[in-house]
Amino acid sequence: MVGNYERIVNRIAESSGNTVANIEEKIEEKRLKLSGFISKEGAAQIVAAELGISFENEKLKIDELLPGMRKVNVVGKVINLFPVRTFKTKKGDESKVVNFWMADDSSNIKVVLWDTNHISLIEKGEIKEGSVVEISNGMMRDSELHLGNFSEIKLSSEVLGDVKIERVFREKNISELTKGESASVRAFVVQVFEPRFFNVCSQCGKKVVESEGAFSCTEHGNVAPEKRSVLTLVLDDGTESTRAVLFHEMVKTIGVTEFEDPEKLAFQKQSLLGKEMTFSGNVRQNDFFNNLEIIIDSAKDVDLDVAIKSFEEK
């Protein structure tokens, strides 16, 4: 599948009259010049700007959107709409925000609305799940599309057929990961930490607070808690290493289940070390360690036949 980086490289090559190979060479030169402290996508945008190519005011597919893009224009179908939330600003004023996911035939993306005029379209039911919307002058923050006062969102007459409803994980090297994106990395497990545990509400799954032996949920009051596990790994793919965090069912999926038997648990942890797997999840910033980590949604053994075929196609 052609990803957003490849799509952008193809666009740059076509618009500039260069070959794809030449554009990729310029991108790698730019990354080397910046000591590798920039993603391929970021370097591609710099190369495009140096060649006099701008993606501003051009209608793009969702899979072509890159972190840092401004004046984004895109059309998509609302596939998941979250409730409007209110919050207090630093000045003490009350404001609103709403998130939804939109999709086209290439991918899907989280959209964040901050302007009250935009939010009112959702509150009045003019924009709802299933609506096809046209967005103008949006701004990419990490891997999310944000709409502010100068942005525009309206119903579109465009008809979209099949759209990418399932979550899209882009194959990346660990060194290329950026905050907020959904990514898939093929890496070795080089460190396994001790599992940690926490309690959640048995009805809604939210974390509960313990006080004097009783467990309280903000929504359901005193409840009988359920014990959940969390496991942290360190992954390395040869380009860099990163922390990966797995919760409960995902912990069991990779074979860590013997929490009550220290000897069996130690054996299961040891069995993971050096194992190569494909991990998929959401990249977030860990403020305590001041680095990126992946919250794992999927972990699979590497299929060598698929890996060989993918390598041959490159």
Give the model confidence (pLDDT) of 249-276 as tens digits: 999 999 999 999 999 999 999 999 999 9
Instruction: Report the candidate in 174, 88, 84 with the shortest Cα–Cα distance to residue 125.
Output: 84
List the one residue out of 144, 64, 142 whose CA is nearest residue 102.
144
CA pair distance 131, 147, nearest whole angstrom: 17
Tell me the per-residue pLDDT of 21-57, one tens digit each, with 9 for 90 and over: 999 999 999 888 887 667 777 788 889 889 988 777 7
pLDDT reported for residue 311: 54
pLDDT in tens, 94-107: 889 999 999 999 89
Question: Which of these CATH numbers, 1.10.1760.20, 3.30.10.20, 3.20.20.70, 2.40.50.140, describes 56-168?
Answer: 2.40.50.140
What is the structure's pLDDT at 2? 45
pLDDT classification of 309: cutoffs 50, 70, 90: low
What pLDDT is recorded for position 177? 87
Residue 1: the pLDDT is 39
- Considering only residues 294 and 180, tell me which one the structure prediction assigns the higher pLDDT: 294
Task: Say which residue, 310 or 270, is predicted with more confidence.
Answer: 270
Residues of the chain with CATH 2.40.50.140: 56-168, 170-198+228-313
Distance CA 313, CA 23 (A): 20
The contacts found for 199-208 with CB under 8 angstroms, 24 or more apart, are 199/225, 199/226, 199/227, 199/228, 200/225, 200/226, 200/228, 201/225, 201/226, 202/226
Dihedral sign, Cα of residue 104, residue 109, residue 114, residue 120: positive
Q: What are the pLDDT digits (tens) for 159-200?
A: 998 999 888 888 889 998 888 888 999 999 999 999 999 888
Of the CA atoms within 13 Å of residue 167, those in its CB half-sphere come to 12
Q: Is the pLDDT of residue 67 over 80?
A: no
Angle at 39 between CA 274 and CA 250, to 5 degrees: 40
| Residue 188: predicted pLDDT | 96
Average pLDDT score over residue span 109-125: 95
Percent of the chain residues past pLDDT 90, beyond the cut:
51
Question: At 26, which amino acid appears?
Answer: K
Task: Say how many Å lie between the first and final Cα of the chain, rounded.
Answer: 12
Taking the C-alpha atoms of residue 99 and residue 102, their distance in angstroms, rounded to an integer, is 10
pLDDT at 303 over 80: no
Output Rg (C-alpha) for the chain, integer angstroms.
22
Provide CATH code, domain 170-198+228-313: 2.40.50.140
